[in-house]
């Protein structure tokens, strides 16, 4: 059995690359003391603060977060909501969630 399973090969989507594919896989601990949605929000927040996600770029969609972290859609939605509450992202209906311009007050 291979060390990992390439899900794109499983569903025949080889070549369809999303922003999530460009990020090294990071695991969350669903049974840890920090709720999974906060773990996901922290991973994305690190990406924003490090410049991996510059201002006005789209962060992974809820569907991409569900697939990447193997969580429920409500968990992905709560992670994005937590980032929005911190002022790190903004959502454009039917377009996606984007990184807000930071005024040096986040962190």
Question: Tens of pLDDT along 8-66?
Answer: 443 444 444 444 444 445 789 999 999 999 999 999 999 999 999 999 999 999 999 99
Domain of residue 19, residue span: 7-99
- Note whether residue 105 is domain-resident: no
Q: How far apart are CA 75 and CA 28, in angstroms?
A: 12
- Note whether residue 2 is domain-resident: no
Q: How many domains does the chain have?
A: 1
Instruction: Let me know: does 47 contact 23? Beta carbons within 8 Å.
Output: yes
pTM of the model: 0.72
Question: Mean pLDDT over residues 96-101, rounded?
Answer: 97
Residue 76 pLDDT > 70, yes or no? yes
Rounded to the nearest 10°, the torsion over CA 35, 17, 98, 34 is 10
Indicate the burial class of 79 (C-beta count within 10 angstroms; 0-12, 13-18, 19 or more): buried
């Amino acid at each position: 059995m291979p060390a990992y399973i390439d899900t794109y090969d499983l569903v025949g989507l080889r070549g369809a690359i999303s922003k999530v594919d460009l990020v090294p896989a990071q695991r969350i601990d669903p049974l840890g003391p920090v709720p999974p949605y906060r773990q996901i929000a922290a991973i994305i927040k690190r990406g924003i603060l490090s410049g991996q996600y510059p201002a006005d770029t789209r962060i992974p969609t809820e569907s991409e977060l569900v697939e990447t972290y193997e969580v429920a859609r409500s968990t992905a939605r709560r992670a994005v909501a937590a980032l929005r509450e911190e002022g790190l992202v903004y959502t454009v209906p039917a377009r996606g969630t984007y990184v807000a311009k930071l005024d040096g007050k986040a962190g």
